[in-house]
Structure 1
Amino acid sequence: MLTPQTYRSVEGPYVELLRLTTREHAHHIDARGNAARELIGVSFRLPDPRQRLPYLAERKANPVFQFAEALWYLAGRRDLEMIGYYAPSMRASSIDGVTLGGSAYGYTLFTADEGSKQSPFDQVLELLRSETDSKRGYLPVFSARELADRSNPDVACLAGLHLLARAGRLHMVCNMRANDIDCGLLSDVFSFTMIQEYAAIQLGLQLGTYTHTIGSAHVNDRNADRVRRVLTEVDARFTPITFDFPAMPDGTNADTIAAVLDHEEVLRTNQVRYSMRHIKGLTLAAYWQQVVMLFELYRQIQHDKATAVDADLLDALEPGLRWLMEHKWSACAAAPGGVQ
């Protein structure tokens, strides 16, 4: 039986694709001034899509951005104001300085089409509720009309998501037209598996496998030094660092996402400062309280210019999230009273 190679967590295929793309690449391309090494037609599978974070000191994955982007998608947004706060580089992809186009996947998935009362996402959920074993639960994102303007800086890299309900589990196949392995793969897998888990909850199904397929898997030459550092770290370590990622709570719905984003907005705009006591008192499940903690810690870094962030909040984070925060913001970690 021909199936994609499986990995315990996203770190496995990330590292393997970095290694293959840099050392055994099939092509060296230079599309729109971005010189890169490329593999064509690759795929991998995660039996447990919740294992969506890597723990690599040289990569310094940012869980704050990853949760922010996933929530931005789940809310069906395309505004630059929110996502640009967490990833300023995304501003270069906006034509009008206000919204994003092709990369606003959530807007395409969760916004009702003109003349329709339901979003494509809700239409697929309705289909899967009524048709057992349906093969039609596909959510297209990339549109042929994006090819009409060759100067468009923001063409969707995501071709579409395929939801398949089988034997009480919701599986998903993600089709990417292109993926920057070093810069985009990790955040894409994080967000898309969050969408998969959210969909499974709405359908009352268990979480199935996640399969990621890529047309053009590439690493830009300008990132070659960081890639070498990551591969050196992996080759030198005795065993991988692993943490289990918790399950999204049953009952999570659109109101839950909206409530978390209400807290995100007041923290992003520096209207409030949340203490541990305040966050523990929120009417949110512990899972989502963790996300609010991340947003508050980021507020301290961005607005307070903190050299040492709230140790109580750090101590309360899930071990994997704390590890990532420690390694992402080493200046705070080095400060007296900061991350230990």
Structure 2
Amino acid sequence: MFLTDTLVCGSLAEAIPRVLALVRQRGRPAIVRGEVNLEVLCADIVITDPTDRLPIVAGRRKVVAFCIAEFLWYCAQQTDLHLLETYAPNIRSFYGGQRFVTGSNYGAQVFGARAEGSQWAKVVALLGQDPGSKRAFIAVYSADGMGSLLPENHDVACTLGFHILVRDGHLHWITSMRANDAYRGFVSDTFSFTLLHELLAATVGIPVGHYLHRVNSLHTFPEDEPAIDRIIQAAEQGVPTGSATRMPPLRPEELWRHVDDFWTIHEKARAIGNWQLLQSLRDLRSPWWEWAGDILLEYHGAGASGSR
């Protein structure tokens, strides 16, 4: 019933076809809300180099622009799905058509202000005083904010939380999920969560270690089977995955200094239909923001180079 072995991959691009093949080969039918999913229970996926996270895989549509936008959406503690519709026009359909989310606003859970500081700030302080602690946990699934568990509520967090362990001089990150769509959610979630992993490591000055993605229900949906076939077949035929381009290192001070400005520029560009405004990200003199801006400019056909 439960998987007892761990899938170990060097990068996210390597993991994508292997995770889909895992579900295809070892999954069992599960009826969920009247629909038959293919599902494996208790899947562990390790990525040994979490900084190698560009999800560029043969047979799969390019999603790097959406992944960047979603990560920055989390960092800005946004709840408005309208900000992401430029990159995923049907995103509201996954939340029952609603525009604002409260259960799935992971950024607010991670970075949001609380009586004694954000969970993120507490973990940073803990690791500064006691790097070997087992207490560094950030909870995402909240009993207070989840509302009903009945099917009509589409806004129940898939992510339970993050456990951070510093061992052998490296900061390791364990993501725990109640459920994950292997075709969509696994890709964008792992992209964002490995960036959070890198961000925390840089904040506390400890090298990035391994990333573990632990999922209780790892599943696929019938409508995605043709796309999954293409990805698995390309991998079996040895079509290269990944990209020679690597994302520049993420520097915490540069991220926090400009993330709110980014969304101001982004929404002005969308409102007036002039995505060239994103060119201003190059003026920040930050390799990471310049790289992200170029990806988004290319996505919008605004004449920038880069990998999506």
TM-score (norm: length of structure 1): 0.80
Identity %: 26
Q: In the superposition, relative to structure 1, how do residues 277 and 100 fare at CA in structure 2: closer, same or farther (>3 Å)? A: closer
CA-atom RMSD in angstroms: 2.5
Structure 2 partner of 1:306? none
Q: In the superposition, relative to structure 1, how do residues 109 and 57 fare at CA in structure 2: closer, same or farther (>3 Å)? A: same
1:62 Cα deviation after fit:
1.1
SS class of match (1:61)? coil
Mapping of residues 1-340 of structure 1, within 5 Å: 4-25=6-27, 27-94=28-95, 97-113=98-114, 116-145=115-144, 146=146, 148-150=148-150, 151-237=152-238, 239-250=240-251, 251-270=253-272, 272-274=274-276, 279-280=281-282, 282-300=283-301, 309-310=302-303, 313-314=304-305, 317=306, 321=307, 324=308
Q: In the superposition, relative to structure 1, how do residues 296 and 103 fare at CA in structure 2: closer, same or farther (>3 Å)? A: same
- Give CA-to-partner distance per residue, 1:188-244, whole Å, 9 cap, x none: 100001111111121122211111111011111121111111111111235545425
1:126 Cα deviation after fit:
1.4
SS class of match (1:245)? coil
On the 8 A contact 1:51/1:244 being kept in 2, the answer is no
1:96 Cα deviation after fit:
8.2
**Residue type at the aligned position of 2:100:** T
**Residue type at the aligned position of 1:6:** V
Counterparts of 1:34 and 1:284, CA distance in 2: 49
Once the two structures are overlaid, the 10-residue window that deviates more, 144-153 or 56-65, is 144-153
Counterparts of 1:117 and 1:197, CA distance in 2: 24
On the 8 A contact 1:73/1:106 being kept in 2, the answer is yes
Structure 2 partner of 1:304? none
On the 8 A contact 1:260/1:288 being kept in 2, the answer is no
Counterparts of 1:97 and 1:148, CA distance in 2: 15
- Give CA-to-partner distance per residue, 1:67-98, whole Å, 9 cap, x none: 00011111221122212332222223557844
On the 8 A contact 2:70/2:84 being kept in 1, the answer is yes
Structure 2 spans left out of the alignment, 5+ residues: none
SS class of match (1:128)? helix
TM-score (norm: length of structure 2): 0.88
On the 8 A contact 2:269/2:278 being kept in 1, the answer is no
1:290 Cα deviation after fit:
1.6
Q: In the superposition, relative to structure 1, how do residues 94 and 252 fare at CA in structure 2: closer, same or farther (>3 Å)? A: same
On the 8 A contact 1:198/1:252 being kept in 2, the answer is no
On the 8 A contact 2:79/2:105 being kept in 1, the answer is yes
**Residue type at the aligned position of 1:80:** L
Q: Which has the larger radius of gyration?
A: 1
On the 8 A contact 2:44/2:214 being kept in 1, the answer is yes
Counterparts of 1:197 and 1:285, CA distance in 2: 16
Aligned residues: 302
SS class of match (2:68)? helix
On the 8 A contact 2:247/2:288 being kept in 1, the answer is yes
Structure 1 spans left out of the alignment, 5+ residues: 301-308, 325-340
1:124 Cα deviation after fit:
1.4
